Structure 1
Amino acid sequence: MQAFFDHKAKIICTIGPASEDEDTLRKIIQAGMDVARLNFSHGTHEEHRQKIERIRKVAAALGKPVAIMQDLQGPKIRIGRFKNPPVNLKPGNTFTITTRPILGDQSQVSTTYQNLPNDVKPGDVILVNDGLIKLRVQSKNATDVVCEVVNGGSLYDRRGINLPGVHISEPSLTDKDKEDVLFGLQQGIDYVALSFVRDAESIHELRAFMGERAVPIIAKLEKPEALENLEAIIDASDGVMVARGDLGVEISTEKVPSVQKTIIEKCMLKNKPVITATQMLDSMMVHPIPTRAEAADVANAIYDGSDAVMLSGETAFGSYPIESVKTMNNIIKESEKHQQFFRLKPDDRIENLLQDFPTSVCHSAYHSAFEIKARFIVVLTRSGFTALKMSNFRPEAPILALTTSPHTYRKMSLYWGVVPVLIENELFLTEDLSELEQMLKSGNWVKRSDRLVIIAGSSRQQGGTNLLRLHQVS
């Protein structure tokens, strides 16, 4: 059991054709997957339902908590299809993007985004296929946007469009997203990732739409406008994803590293989980080992303070999904041996956190665990609130988070350094710790003479953590 929890920063894997069968799911969970991401830009509800069922089945058989993250498509702008793909665009040529339902050719192609002619103006830049093809708007009418090809290349069906510096009039939460969210809630998803977040209002809208069934919201930062509203977005969300693919196209590649560090630092100071994503081990889609630059990229994301790192195409449709997860896990474990490189230390954060009882208890637990060389910091939690707060201090001792809630059990799979444990009966921090001790022994978590730091609350309310005990196993 404990072999599953050999890394503290968590691993998110995108599930697709290369990884959706039970055998591969079993192997990537064993290799280190903590969160399964389902990309709702692709697939039907029935296909996603089957994936969720298989993930839950395999995870339960292995006794490993695996959270499921629903990643919404958002207002993703794409081109349509061609008669004979690919077409080759040459610099200087004229190329039209139209809202008319046509099959494309050398001179024109349709788009999924009906507001494109309204949103752009002459002189604006349109980037296609992750920025590899660059177009400049020359003119437009009610349906067509006529462009000059600046940087050409081969163009296939349904490639993505980016509009740097252009305000997108379509909301972040689309009608399709709403249908997908209702489906996801019915299926018991653990997280929902909102794409192309530009301000806090879109997060508030999604939370209101979910109502009482709301699950934690991960804000995907992919647009420059999000950076202008960063503080408010972090405050409104339950976590943030640094989606470096679209973001790197929109703000220019050389700015991505500093933006990544800024976002991660602000999330850590606000006690919000942060995920670093996109092209982390991209070459492993076709090769069994990563480049040295990719290994350094993953390590630096860990040193920056990422709660989790994410694999996309590597596990969704790459040739080496299992090897990709193993490699990611190995890089994380090696990086975590060198905490002197971590950018933010726990005591650097305490002044920025809300000065309440749970924060004070967790800060004390961090120092106590270090001083007594604790085997675990044990957290008794209902909602996962205290486990997340403890996680933010980045203790050397693993955080053993005990809960009776299956949703909290899975949800905590995203939290740095947290080992979720599902228990049948609620435990309380009383004078007699024999029940807790026996449970930990029976699960092979502790042995005689192990030292523990235990934190809990005297009330059932979230944020009621106010108790700390030091204990040596008898």
Structure 2
Amino acid sequence: MAKTTIVATIGPASDNPSTLLALHRAGMTVARLNGSHSSLDWHKATIALIRETLPELPILLDIPGRKIRTIQLREEPSFNVGDRVILTTDLSHDGSEKVPVNYDLFHSKLRVGVRIYADDGTLSFLVEKVSGRDVQVVAETAGTLKSRKGINVPEIDLGQELVTPRDREMITFAKSTGVDFVGISFVESSRHVEAIRSLIEATTPQIVAKVENQGGLDHLDEIAKATDIIMIDRGDLSVETSIDHVSIYQKKIISAAQQYGKPVIVATELLHSMIESPLPTKAEISDVTNSVIDGASAVMLSGETAVGKFPVEAVARLRSIVTLAEAHRHASAPALANTAASHNDLRAATQALARTLPISKIVVLSRTGYAARLVSMAQIQQPIIAVGNDTALVRSWNLLPGTVGVHLPHVSITADSAGTIALEALWTSGHITQSDVVLVVLATTNDADASLSFLQTVRVGQLAEQQAWPLAESLEAA
């Protein structure tokens, strides 16, 4: 089983029980909702649907943040090179004459000659005139400007506030609906991450910081240290910086995430052609393969599963590609690559034992997720069972590479429980069996300099016999 997590965006092509179940069987391990699209009522209903259909599946809600977009349009204008289009901050228009954007000060920040990009850089315009709330632009590419598509102006600092009123509304919504992660757009500093964390006021939802512009790259280390997870949004990153540098930036961001032991999601256009085609291109297969070899913890599908014609096939194909890529990565990986000194003890010890002893599974006892996260980043082949007693936190661990979160509400996460109580509960639930040799890991705190407090190998069959655990209740007996 591949360890790389697959995040699939849920939309009109997949927001029904049968497709959700099929996506999960095909390999989806996290469901993503794009808060920039659809109403909050739709998102609320879809979150409830996912919880009912797949209750253990983590949910990531991507909130709009400071990203500028066109609003929902009644008419979506098409144009040729040289045609004029009017963008406006007057939201009373519907797209037939002028195309409204959702940033009230957009018109006041622009000047003649500035280049504007839309829809992940596929559309390009040059500002010809600014008049009141209207921005007249000349199309440099032919196409159609659709509803809720991103607008980028990399030449100008648009001066948006760090946390928008919409952010506050969406964070409140995320907390009330119990999603596991929130994705934050255009993160440029640890201050931005902490501002969002202060709104959350809890351990969940966890924060996914999206690195997608030069500001994010310039402050990569502090963002990686402050956030829970990093996402590489290659669509906006290619427009805001340089499309020729995207692959290089991807490697840089993954390296920073690994340095701080943080999972990293690679997103945008992984299998884009499968929106319309049942097969991906060879270049897409190569892209996904290289993302996994680079060290991606997760790979994400957007339009492929939200609006595509082949959502289940896209997930199944992605699972196949990452499985092969992981086999190559494990065969050629150094003992412990890209590891910061502060995390060496935990990851290096776990990795060394996992590679030299006949370990079949790793059991991590974790209160905060610190130990679960670091062990999952050690690039080991064995499945990881992360045990905790916080329901929402445990569910979120299913995003970690190769990790299954197991909620044991009555088990104290201590070294004493490692020898008997937690393992007996895992035996009873069928997560470990008679033939398993497990490595039990426990770290004491979530501090960056925490020392390993407990590391033990256990032959499950011997322990079960000593403790007289009922064999009939294990999966192996079944």
TM-score by length of 2: 0.88
Q: CA deviation at 1:179?
A: 0.8
Q: How much does 1:213 deviate?
A: 6.1
CA distance in 2, matches of 1:27, 1:211: 35
SS at match of 1:348: coil
* 1:90 counterpart (81, 86, 91): 81
Task: Map 1:314-353 onto structure 2 (within 5 A).
Answer: 314-339=304-329, 345-350=334-339, 352-353=340-341
User: Matched residues in 2 for 1:18 and 1:314: separation?
Assistant: 9
Distance 1:269 1:461 in 2: 15
Give 1:42 deviation, angstroms.
Answer: 1.8
Q: Find the aligned partners of 2:176 and 2:75 in 1 and give their Cα distance.
A: 40
Q: Do structure 1's residue 152 and structure 2's residue 138 form an aligned pair?
A: no
Name the residue aligned to 1:295.
285
User: Compared with structure 1, are the counterparts of its residues 73 and 471 closer, same or farther at alpha carbon in structure 2 (3 Å cutoff)?
Assistant: same
**SS in structure 2 of the partner of residue 416 of structure 1:** coil
Q: Which of the residues 342, 348, 351 maps onto 1:354?
A: 342
Report the alpha carbon displacement of residue 278 of structure 1 after superposing the two structures with TM.
Answer: 0.8
Whether the 8 Å contact between 1:372 and 1:451 is mirrored in structure 2 is no
Residue type matched to 1:406 in 2?
T
Equivalent of 1:234 in 203, 221, 224: 224
Cα gap change, 1:102 to 1:401, in 2 (>3 Å): closer
Q: Which runs of 5+ in 2 are unaligned?
A: 463-478
Closer/same/farther in 2, CA of residues 398 and 99 from structure 1, 3 Å limit: same
Looking at structure 2, the residues matched to 393 and 459 of structure 1 have their Cα atoms a distance apart, in angstroms, of 18
TM-fit CA distance, 1:8:
0.5
Gaps of 5+ in 1: 1-5
Partner of 1:3 in structure 2?
none
Say if 1:382 and 1:148 are closer, same or farther in 2 by CA, change over 3 A: same
Q: How does 1:134-145 map to 2 (within 5 A)?
A: 134-145=124-135
Match of 2:101 among 90, 111, 114: 111
Is residue 381 of structure 2 the alignment partner of residue 365 of structure 1? no
- Kept in 2: contact 1:172–1:195 (CA 8 A): no
Query: Could you give the per-residue CA deviations for residues 403-460 of structure 1, whole angstroms, max 9, x where no partner exists?
Result: 2221122110111122222224215434993544443433334443432211125789
Paired residues of 2:426 and 2:432 also in contact (CA < 8 A)? yes
Task: Measure, in 1, the Cα distance between the counterparts of 2:433 and 2:75.
Answer: 66
Residue of structure 2 in register with 1:304 after alignment = 294
Q: Deviations over 1:72-123 (max 9, x none)?
A: 01233233577754332332x44432223334457x5333222122222222
2:471 corresponds to? none
2:94 is the counterpart of 1:76: no
Note if contact 1:276-1:306 (Cα within 8 Å) is conserved in structure 2. yes
Distance in 1 between residues matched to 2:62 and 2:167, nearest whole Å? 9
Q: CA deviation at 1:159?
A: 3.6
CA deviations on 1:308-354 (whole Å, 9 max, x unpaired) are: 00011111111111111111111111111112576x7453344x231
* Partner SS for 1:354: helix
**Offset, 1:264:** 0.5
| 1:138–1:21 distance in 2 versus 1, CA, 3 Å | same
- Judge conservation of contact 1:284–1:290 (CA < 8 Å) in 2: yes
Counterparts in 2 of 1:304 and 1:341: CA distance versus 1, 3 Å: farther
Q: What secondary structure, in the 3-state scheme, does the structure 2 residue paired with 1:368 have?
A: helix
Q: What residue in structure 1 maps to residue 476 of structure 2?
A: none
1:210 is matched with which residue?
A: 200
- SS in structure 2 at match of 1:338: helix
Q: Is the 8 A contact 1:382 1:404 kept in 2?
A: yes
Computed over aligned residues only, the root mean square deviation of the Cα atoms, in angstroms, reads 2.6
- Once residues 444 and 225 of structure 2 are traced to their aligned partners in structure 1, the CA distance between those partners, rounded to angstroms, is 27
Matched, 1:390 2:381: no
The residue type equivalent to 1:418 in the other structure is T
Partner residue, 2:472: none
Is the CA contact (8 Å cut-off) linking 1:173 and 1:194 kept in structure 2?
no
CA contact (8 A) 1:459 1:465 kept: no
Structure 1 position 433 matched with structure 2 position 419: yes
Pick one of 340, 361, 368 that aligns with 1:376: 361
| 3-state secondary structure, aligned to 1:151 | coil
Kept in 2: contact 1:457–1:467 (CA 8 A): yes
Aligned equivalents of 1:459 and 1:120: distance in 2?
Answer: 49
**Structure 1 residue matching 2:210: 3-state secondary structure:** strand
Question: Residue 441 of structure 2 is aligned with which of 451, 455, 460?
Answer: 455
- Answer yes or no: is the 8 Å Cα contact 1:103–1:109 preserved in 2: yes
- Which amino acid is 1:183 matched to? F
The letter of the residue matching 1:25 is: L
**Structure 2 residue 390 is the aligned partner of structure 1 residue 405:** yes
Contact 2:209 2:223 in 1 (8 A): yes
Question: Does the CA contact (< 8 Å) of 2:264 and 2:296 recur in 1?
Answer: yes
2:58 to 64, 67, 78: 67
In 2, the alpha carbon distance for the partners of 1:178 and 1:449 equals 50
Question: Take 2:75 and 2:263, find their aligned partners in 1: how far apart are those partners?
Answer: 45
Name the CA shift for 1:453/1:258 in 2 (closer, same or farther; >3 Å): same
Cα deviation, residue 11, structure 1: 0.8
Q: Which position in structure 2 is the counterpart of 1:468? A: 455
Residues 208 and 105 of structure 1, relative CA distance in 2, 3 Å threshold? same
After TM superposition, give the deviation of residue 128 of structure 1 in Å: 2.5
Distance 1:115 1:450 in 2: 61
Q: Which deviates the most, 454-463 or 234-243? A: 454-463
> Which residue does the alignment assign to 1:44?
39
Aligned residues: 458
Map of 2:470 onto structure 1:
none
1:194 pairs with 144, 159, 184, which one? 184
Letter in 2 for 1:469: Q
Residue 103 of structure 2 aligns to a residue whose secondary structure is coil
Match of 2:428 in 1: 442
The C-alpha deviation readout for 1:175-234, integer Å capped at 9, x for no partner, is: 112111101101111111101223332212111222246532111122222112222222
Structure 1 residues 409, 213: CA separation in 2 closer, same or farther (over 3 Å shift)?
Answer: closer
Q: CA deviation at 1:167?
A: 0.9
